[in-house]
Amino acid sequence: MSVTLSLDAVYDLAVRALIGSNTSRTNAYPVANSIRDAEADGFHGGGLGHLPQYCEDARSGRVDGHASPTWDKTADAAIRIDAHHGFSHAAFAVAHQPLVELTRQTGIAALSICHSYDAAILGYFVETLARDGLVSLAFANSLSPSIAPWGGKEPLFGTNPMAFAVPRQNGDPMVVDQSSSVVARMVVRQHAEQDKPIPEGWAFDKDGRPTTDAWAGLEGSMAPFGDYKGAALALMVEILSAGVTGSSFTFEASHTANHRGDPPNLGQFLITIDPSAFGGTDFAARLETLFSAMLSQEGVRLPGDRRIANRVQAQNEGVSISEDLHRRLLDYC
């Protein structure tokens, strides 16, 4: 059985569950916004499906639900924000407008978030910036090692997402949001919990052999997309998100299985570009020329088109979650 919720009800439930899990209202609001958006886009694993982990970690102290992020301008076009082991969404909310203003002044700017928590759906951050007219890229490392260096067997990198967004003349920004692995780890976990095999090419077992057993894949490592090229991208994201920001590498972080309450100390790194500073005064119109050329070919769709269609459906019909999850979330309230 399932329960259908409006997007407003999703937001309200997320806020109440977070506040009931030792999180301040100030910090709960931006996290709840990201959860509502994830559900609207059809990313249940980054929405209400991810909320129990937020709540449990806020209760255990792995994430400080009452943290007060602080930021400072560290160079002409650089902002550094310390999340103080709080939610990355709350840290981003504090630095969002200063970053937009700085980018408009300098043409290109960057934001580092250190001592942070899991970013979940990274597209949330870049789409927010694209709505301000900026081109943006974001990188984040992950809560637990999932990808082994190419040629190795032991997971070292996270699934390490990267995201990119551009504003459009009309409608929602175009967003590219993907992990460094073939699929997100949560997808393999969903297969395991449903006793369903996974397609070959998604994961390796603990001995480094390709497997279609979801549980074996969880005990082994996720397959990087594009083989050694994806593993190199995971490394790149690890360096940008953790190395540049002064945070913990994924293999150093407190893992999900660690119940001691140690903060994972993750990092996120964002780059923002004002296209008008580089001669792109007709940037939005030129983009539509490119997109139109792409869409003139049968079978082509733009990245994020399915997500946008899901939004329309969710706005009209709401979203469905299992009764078990709904009851569990109400228990946090």
Do 102 and 198 have their domain in common? no
Do 196 and 325 have their domain in common? no
User: Residue 297: inside a domain, yes or no?
Assistant: no
**Which pLDDT belongs to residue 259?**
43
pLDDT digits (tens, 9 = 90+) for 180-227: 888 877 788 878 888 899 998 899 988 889 999 989 888 888 888 888
Do 173 and 27 have their domain in common? yes
Question: In this structure, what CATH number is given to the domain that contains residue 200?
Answer: 3.30.60.50
Do 140 and 190 have their domain in common? no
User: Which residue, of 166, 194, 223, is where some domain finishes?
Assistant: 223
The residue segments making up the domain with residue 215 are 182-223
> Which one is predicted more confidently, 46 or 27?
27
**Which pLDDT belongs to residue 255?**
62
Question: What are the backbone angles phi and psi of residue 141, rounded to the nearest 5°?
Answer: -95, 180
Instruction: Give SS3 for 177.
Output: strand
Do 60 and 124 have their domain in common? yes
Do 125 and 216 have their domain in common? no
**Which pLDDT belongs to residue 36?**
97
User: Residue 325: inside a domain, yes or no?
Assistant: yes
Do 240 and 217 have their domain in common? no
Question: In this structure, what CATH number is given to the domain that contains residue 48?
Answer: 3.30.1370.60
pLDDT digits (tens, 9 = 90+) for 61-86: 999 999 999 999 999 999 999 999 99
**Which pLDDT belongs to residue 22?**
97
Query: Percent of the chain beyond pLDDT 90?
Result: 74
**Which pLDDT belongs to residue 194?**
84
Q: Which of 26, 87, 82, 84 is nearest to 57 (CA)?
A: 87
pLDDT band at 4 (very low <50, low <70, confident <90, very high): very high
pLDDT digits (tens, 9 = 90+) for 113-124: 999 999 999 999
User: Which residue, of 194, 223, 252, is where some domain finishes?
Assistant: 223
Do 20 and 90 have their domain in common? yes
Return the minimum-mean-pLDDT range out of 96-110, 268-282, 288-302.
268-282
- How many distinct structural domains can be found in the chain? 2
Do 161 and 53 have their domain in common? yes
User: Which residue, of 190, 223, 256, is where some domain finishes?
Assistant: 223
**Which pLDDT belongs to residue 253?**
82
Residue 99 predicted with pLDDT over 60:
yes
Do 151 and 239 have their domain in common? yes
Query: Percent of the chain beyond pLDDT 70?
Result: 97
User: Residue 199: inside a domain, yes or no?
Assistant: yes
pLDDT digits (tens, 9 = 90+) for 245-267: 999 999 998 665 444 568 999 99
Rounded mean pLDDT, 168-177: 93
Residue 320 predicted with pLDDT over 60:
yes
Do 88 and 122 have their domain in common? yes
User: Residue 211: inside a domain, yes or no?
Assistant: yes
